[in-house]
A and B are shown apart, each in its own frame.
Chain A
Amino acid sequence: MGDIKAGKVEARPSPKVSDEVRQTTCYMCACRCGINVHLQDGKVKYIEGNKDHPVNKGVLCAKGSAGIMQHYSPARLQAPMKRVGPRGSGEFEEISWDEAYDIAEGWLKPLRDTAPEKLAFFTGRDQSQSFTSFWAQGFGTPNYAAHGGFCSVNMAAAGIYTMGGAFWEFGQPDWDRAKLFMIFGVAEDHDSNPIKAGLGRLKANGGKVIGVNPIRSGYNAIADEWIGITPGTDGLFILSIIHELLRAGKVDLNYLCRYTNAGFLVSTDEGAADFGLFLRGDDDKALVLDRATGKAVAFDTPGINPDLAGHLRQGGTTYRPAFQLLAEKYMDGAYAPEEVAERCGLTAQKIRAVAAELARVAFEEEIVLDQPWTDWKGEKHDKMIGRPVSFHAMRGISAHSNGFQTCRALHILQILLGSVEVPGGFRFKPPYPKPPEAHPKPHDMNGPGQPMKGPHLGYPMGPEDLLVEGDGTPKRIDKAFSWENPFSVHGMMHMVISNAHAGDPYKIDTLFLYMANMAWNSSMNTSEVMRMLTDKDDNGDYVIPHIIYSDAYSSETVAYADLILPDTTYLERHDCISMLDRPICEADAAADAIRWPVVEPDRNVKGFQSALCDLGARLGLPGFVNEDGSQKYADYADYIVNHERRPGVGPLGGFRGEDGTGEGRGSVNPEQLNRYIENGGFWHTQVPDDASYYKPWNAGYQDWAVKIGLFDKPQPYVFNLYLEPMRKMQRAAEGHGDVQPPDNMRERVKAAFTPLPEWSQPFEDAAVDHDEYPVHALTQRPMHMYHSWGSQNAWLRQITNVNRLYIPGKIWDEKGFEEGDWAHVSSVHGKIKVPVARMDALNPNTVWTWNAIGKKRGAWALSEDAPEATKGFLLNHLINELLPEKGDGQRWANSDPVTGQAAWFDLRVRIEKAPPGGPSEPAHKASKSHIGQGPKDMAYGEEF
């Protein structure tokens, strides 16, 4: 190494920090914190959190602090490339952007003109989905989605359908007022800094944390109470808590009457034509019983109190309030703690104690704020009443085949306690709350050369909204919005490659992927997916003819593509974190943010969204060309500033209008990006005090939301305890209506679409022999790494570069494992060899490992003997996107039957001691690194 600068070795009190600080938005994960990037001599010297930023308020996690190593990663792609060796070999030739666009246009133009559905465009961990979806709509293919289907769609869909918002991007605990916080399952990787900060504040205020998770790590390590539940049984546990609360009358009846559909009258006679549907008035509004008059009136009639205890006989049919059906169902002995405890891996007493503690804090530690507000019916209230119990969950309860109903059950628990949108409870972040009716519905294609009829993804409200042919055949390549998974509101990216390979429901021509490591950790059944991507037909042509991929780094998937569009690092690009998309708002503020090139790329790379602007113009896509056919947006920055989704509403809400004072609404401001940069890279505007809680029913909030352009007229609504769209799907399965499921789907739809959540055994759990596969297997992501990105990071990979399979003490002892041992792990689908370690703070029937540490040899600019490749492993090899054959001639997806969410966490395995020593298996052959390997030794910062 060179000599370090004189003076640097003195402990001087006030050395220069940097030449300049530029403020942008982090992208080391999806948390989107504000960062101060310190530059010296044009290089990135130090990255810290931005103290003014609404998301992180100055703090920064390990990933964010390691941004320098990501930005200067040796795995960065250098230029566009075309494949010159066979797929998977990693042999590429660098080409110009012009040639890359020529190739892409040559494949895509004929598809658009003849069969746009033959383009499947899927965009992984995309934070620009309102833009990429706009592009795909212009192209006219119905086959677009991002990665929600294999991530946490159950959580998002159950939240929107039940209460108009879910966790993370949709809402947050009222950290400053909550006194009890209950967190379910793997949740460390989303909203990561706000949750850590919130836990710290909650604890400083004397609040308690209950962690429900088979694994006691991360947030569960600091939980005051640990519930080491058996995977896949969270729904049963929650419904048992509800059983206890109902029996004790510990529910917030006032809240239920006012803000939910508890009072909606449901037809309860099995023979009735409207069985299970709401009684509706002439204007189609659902009716409730007015407690004062005993008459059925529209639910939103001012001044009425719905009678939850009565019933109505009308036209020979009995109608009962939805709450009675709910109480009857969950007060049943089947949900008693002693009935469910063993399946949950808990004691009945523990379930009773948790229920009692929730009730105690919710009702005995009530919060009263002297804050007047006016509700949607015009009634004035002089106080805000709070129930200081809050919840959070993410992929842990979501990634099961019973996840949708489990997430629904959790929201119903929150609602019964009266703890949603109240002080101390769970609070929505603008633009949420937003009920399912206010979301788009899924849209179909128009035909060759035409844009789509509307947005691809949406919220079906009944069978008529599905995307199926007359005979029930799915219209989309991923089979989203089909009878197999009708409410697949995020699409089903995990099914795209296998369906395209099988030509089921049809063959495609071009697979276009962005930022999704589908040839590795983002796919179930990884080895098989690599085979599908390289498989050839009888003519010697690839079964999936063309693959275009955009990534910033040399990930595993690069080797499987024919054409590579190299993206930039997050410090070199424009982005908008938009309220049209995946917002970063806080419960008290609407907010959005930008990224901008705080350093310019030193390679021939381009932000993917800018490449889409170019490609969209070449293809003549509506929205991407001017009337004279010329290119409309020079690049993504141009789009961010000048695109308007509705008049006066664009990707960014801040500094709109000619003078830059418009908030939410306003004409295009050419100076908008500069104003964001001056403001620290973000914009935010406070929710008024009288609008801060009760948002779905608060006239002050509704008016404010209209003012800033979140929606165009007030849209108050009530929460759905009873979810009528589910019942509509069941009714179709029973034979009612024009849109009918195929006969072999009827029983499945009837069972899955109960309008009140029921717990069902996860599919794999039910399908495999528990003696042969006795143990549950899970993954989670370390807080200091995000997906596969961490392993190219010289600092983060020193913290974790090998993942071991953690085995509970009892199994460890039974099998005679010792430190340093290896094991064979088998599922009904495959077998892997992995290093093991003992862990006692773990459910006794569960094993687990860190996700996406294992790497394929030759990827990420790592040496081929890197521990990530020789000892790291993926559990993905044991998980199939299809369930084992049942002998009914069908291969059912290993997904939630409601939403299509990939059921990663249903996995069951067998563990056996393996011969000592590595490498981990399967040991895939290396792809040639087209990028070389990173430097040997480093001393970053010696030049400063």
Chain B
Amino acid sequence: MTALPEAADKKLGLVIDLDTCVGCHACVVNCKEWNTSNYGNPLSDIDAYGAEPEGTFLNRVHAFEVTPDTGGCAQTIHFPKSCLHCEDAPCVTVCPTGASYKRVEDGIVLVNENDCMGCGLCAWACPYGARELDALAGIMKKCTLCVDRIYNENLPEEDREPACVRTCPAGARHFGDLGDPSSDVSKLVAEREGMDLMPEMGTKPVNKYLPPRQKDTLLADMALTPKSEEPKGFLAWLDKALEAL
């Protein structure tokens, strides 16, 4: 069993806007290419050109259909999912070797790959399915919030954010300190009524989701008032309107 810090100094995390996510998978693939070549073991691809290709990804986008309770048209929701860097992270407390840990300085949940024995308990404990055991390395992989980018002095300052955030074409992903109420991300969460994923699990996730805005609200009784029905009436209207120009 591994202990969680009593309190992290910061709560770095992501805010994901479900109202603008178009499900394009840009975040999924840019995450893969950054993380396979940088910190930790590569993210392998099994049977890459064969019958059952299956590799490790730290972030995936799921699509769901939702039919509103109030009736109306079915909707498609694109739902990107990666580690939520929970305050009460069950994946950490379950770890038998201390490989999984939550950092005091910024709250990021990481795996020390030297100590990970690939037992998979953490993946079992995570209610979100956010961890993936790499089949080739036999080591647990998960979102690092691009810990090797966000402080990286070899990157221009504007690029010191997670790869998924930097690449998102729709601007649906935001990164910052959710422990600081005055941060842009905290304000966004307050403004848009950001939500925890499955709060009933008691994991206190740091990442937040901004819900889709109300859809299909065009007023049922909206219509234009005719000025003229017949071509003749139209010409009279037109003449008057031209005079007023």
Query: What CA separation (Å) do A15 and B39 show in the bound complex?
Result: 8
Tell me the smallest distance from the CB of B78 to a CB of chain A, in Å: 6
Write the chain A residue with the least CB distance to B51: A865
Among B30, B38, B158, which residue has its beta carbon within 8 angstroms of that of A65?
B30
Question: Is the Cβ of A226 less than 8 Å from the Cβ of B49?
Answer: no
A861: which B residues are within 8 A, CB to CB?
49
Tell me the smallest distance from the CB of A872 to a CB of chain B, in Å: 12
A502 within 8 A of B: no
Among B75, B152, B168, B238, which residue has its beta carbon within 8 angstroms of that of A309?
B238
Query: What CA separation (Å) do A199 and B53 show in the bound complex?
Result: 33
Among B53, B65, B77, B78, which residue has its beta carbon within 8 angstroms of that of A798?
B53
Interface residues of B in 1-55 (CB under 8 A from A): 19-26, 28-30, 32-34, 36-55
Query: What CA separation (Å) do A359 and B242 show in the bound complex?
Result: 19
Tell me the smallest distance from the CB of B55 to a CB of chain A, in Å: 6
Query: What CA separation (Å) do A324 and B46 show in the bound complex?
Result: 67
Question: Is the Cβ of A196 less than 8 Å from the Cβ of B170?
Answer: yes
Write the chain A residue with the least CB distance to B154: A17
B22: which A residues are within 8 A, CB to CB?
188, 196, 199, 218-219, 221-222, 783
Question: Is the Cβ of A199 less than 8 Å from the Cβ of B20?
Answer: yes
Interface flags, A230-268, vs B, CB<8A=1, else 0: 000000000000001111111001100100000000000
Contact residues of B: prevailing secondary structure: loop
Question: Is the Cβ of A74 less than 8 Å from the Cβ of B49?
Answer: yes
B200 within 8 A of A: no
Query: What CA separation (Å) do A247 and B234 show in the bound complex?
Result: 8
Choose the segment among B81-89, B124-132, B213-221 that binds chain A (4+ C-beta atoms closer than 8 Å).
B213-221
A898 within 8 A of B: no
Question: Is the Cβ of A795 less than 8 Å from the Cβ of B45?
Answer: yes
A775: which B residues are within 8 A, CB to CB?
none
Query: What CA separation (Å) do A792 and B235 show in the bound complex?
Result: 62
A244: which B residues are within 8 A, CB to CB?
223-224
B228 within 8 A of A: yes
Among B28, B78, B152, which residue has its beta carbon within 8 angstroms of that of A17?
B152
A862: which B residues are within 8 A, CB to CB?
49-50
Write the chain B residue with the least CB distance to A354: B218
Question: Is the Cβ of A936 less than 8 Å from the Cβ of B33?
Answer: no
Among A309, A349, A935, which residue has its beta carbon within 8 angstroms of that of B223?
A349
A48 within 8 A of B: yes
Q: Report if A794-B45 is in contact (Cβ < 8 Å); known contacts: A11-B110, A249-B228.
A: yes
Question: Is the Cβ of A863 less than 8 Å from the Cβ of B217?
Answer: no
Question: Is the Cβ of A253 less than 8 Å from the Cβ of B245?
Answer: yes
Query: What CA separation (Å) do A196 and B112 show in the bound complex?
Result: 37
Interface residues of A in 340-368 (CB under 8 A from B): 349-350, 352-357, 359
Write the chain B residue with the least CB distance to A355: B224
Query: What CA separation (Å) do A784 and B80 show in the bound complex?
Result: 14
Question: Is the Cβ of B23 less than 8 Å from the Cβ of A226?
Answer: no
Among A8, A250, A936, which residue has its beta carbon within 8 angstroms of that of B224?
A250
A546 within 8 A of B: no
Question: Is the Cβ of B245 less than 8 Å from the Cβ of A938?
Answer: no
Interface residues of B in 100-124 (CB under 8 A from A): 110, 112-114
A772 within 8 A of B: no
Query: What CA separation (Å) do A801 and B235 show in the bound complex?
Result: 59
Question: Is the Cβ of A937 less than 8 Å from the Cβ of B44?
Answer: yes
Question: Is the Cβ of B215 less than 8 Å from the Cβ of A327?
Answer: no
Write the chain B residue with the least CB distance to A782: B25
A766 within 8 A of B: no
Tell me the smallest distance from the CB of B61 to a CB of chain A, in Å: 8
Question: Is the Cβ of B242 less than 8 Å from the Cβ of A62?
Answer: no
Tell me the smallest distance from the CB of A479 to a CB of chain B, in Å: 38
Question: Is the Cβ of A203 less than 8 Å from the Cβ of B224?
Answer: no
Q: Which of under 10, 10 to 19, 20 to 34, or 35 or more describes the interface residues of A? A: 35 or more
Tell me the smallest distance from the CB of A715 to a CB of chain B, in Å: 27
Question: Is the Cβ of A867 less than 8 Å from the Cβ of B51?
Answer: yes
Choose the segment among B90-98, B143-151, B201-209 that binds chain A (4+ C-beta atoms closer than 8 Å).
B143-151
Question: Is the Cβ of A866 less than 8 Å from the Cβ of B223?
Answer: no
Question: Is the Cβ of B222 less than 8 Å from the Cβ of A356?
Answer: yes
Q: Report if A46-B34 is in contact (Cβ < 8 Å); known contacts: A222-B212, A247-B228, A866-B51.
A: yes
Query: What CA separation (Å) do A246 and B227 show in the bound complex?
Result: 9
Interface residues of A in 181-240 (CB under 8 A from B): 188, 192-193, 196-197, 199-201, 203-204, 210, 216-226, 228
A273 within 8 A of B: no
Interface residues of A in 773-794 (CB under 8 A from B): 783-784, 792, 794
Q: Report if A796-B42 is in contact (Cβ < 8 Å); known contacts: A257-B242, A801-B53, A839-B65.
A: no
B217: which A residues are within 8 A, CB to CB?
224-225
Among B57, B224, B235, which residue has its beta carbon within 8 angstroms of that of A247?
B224
B71: which A residues are within 8 A, CB to CB?
none
Query: What CA separation (Å) do A933 and B21 show in the bound complex?
Result: 36
Among B37, B110, B155, B237, which residue has its beta carbon within 8 angstroms of that of A940?
B37
B76 within 8 A of A: yes
Tell me the smallest distance from the CB of B226 to a CB of chain A, in Å: 4
Question: Is the Cβ of B229 less than 8 Å from the Cβ of A247?
Answer: yes
B136 within 8 A of A: yes
Write the chain A residue with the least CB distance to B214: A224
A944 within 8 A of B: yes
Interface flags, A586-604, vs B, CB<8A=1, else 0: 0000000000000000000
Interface flags, A125-154, vs B, CB<8A=1, else 0: 000000000000000000000000000000
A576 within 8 A of B: no
Write the chain A residue with the least CB distance to B139: A9
Question: Is the Cβ of A196 less than 8 Å from the Cβ of B238?
Answer: no
**Interface core residue of A4, A222, A941 (most chain B CB under 10 Å):** A222
B29: which A residues are within 8 A, CB to CB?
62-63, 65-66, 784, 795-796, 799
Question: Is the Cβ of A937 less than 8 Å from the Cβ of B228?
Answer: no
Q: Report if A15-B74 is in contact (Cβ < 8 Å); known contacts: A4-B41, A201-B171, A222-B19.
A: no
B198 within 8 A of A: no
Among A17, A47, A63, A937, which residue has its beta carbon within 8 angstroms of that of B47?
A937
Interface residues of B in 163-188 (CB under 8 A from A): 163, 166-172
**Interface core residue of B46, B110, B237, B238 (most chain A CB under 10 Å):** B238
Tell me the smallest distance from the CB of B13 to a CB of chain A, in Å: 17
Question: Is the Cβ of B136 less than 8 Å from the Cβ of A937?
Answer: yes
A307 within 8 A of B: yes
Query: What CA separation (Å) do A248 and B224 show in the bound complex?
Result: 6
A305 within 8 A of B: yes
Question: Is the Cβ of B74 less than 8 Å from the Cβ of A841?
Answer: yes
Query: What CA separation (Å) do A748 and B92 show in the bound complex?
Result: 72
A908: which B residues are within 8 A, CB to CB?
none
B70: which A residues are within 8 A, CB to CB?
none
B190 within 8 A of A: no
Query: What CA separation (Å) do A436 and B82 show in the bound complex?
Result: 51
Write the chain B residue with the least CB distance to A17: B154
Given contacts A863-B51, A942-B42, 9 further A-B contacts (CB under 8 A): A14-B154, A59-B168, A68-B33, A309-B242, A356-B224, A936-B47, A937-B47, A937-B136, A939-B137
What are 29 contact pairs spanning A and B, CB under 8 A? A8-B39, A46-B34, A47-B33, A59-B169, A60-B30, A65-B26, A65-B30, A193-B169, A199-B20, A200-B20, A203-B20, A217-B76, A221-B75, A224-B215, A247-B229, A350-B218, A353-B220, A353-B222, A353-B223, A356-B222, A783-B24, A784-B29, A841-B73, A841-B75, A841-B76, A937-B44, A937-B136, A938-B45, A938-B48
The 10 lowest CB-CB distance pairs between A and B, nearest first, are A934-B49, A941-B37, A248-B224, A200-B171, A196-B169, A840-B74, A221-B76, A62-B25, A309-B239, A65-B29
B binding-site residues for A, Cβ under 8 Å: 19-26, 28-30, 32-34, 36-55, 57, 63, 65, 67, 73-78, 110, 112-114, 136-137, 144, 147-148, 151-155, 158, 163, 166-172, 212-213, 215-229, 231, 234-235, 237-239, 241-242, 245
A binding-site residues for B, Cβ under 8 Å: 1, 4, 8-9, 11-17, 40, 45-49, 51, 56, 58-66, 68, 74, 188, 192-193, 196-197, 199-201, 203-204, 210, 216-226, 228, 244-250, 253-254, 257, 291, 305, 307-309, 324, 327-328, 331, 349-350, 352-357, 359, 783-784, 792, 794-799, 801, 809, 839-842, 861-863, 865-867, 870, 933-942, 944
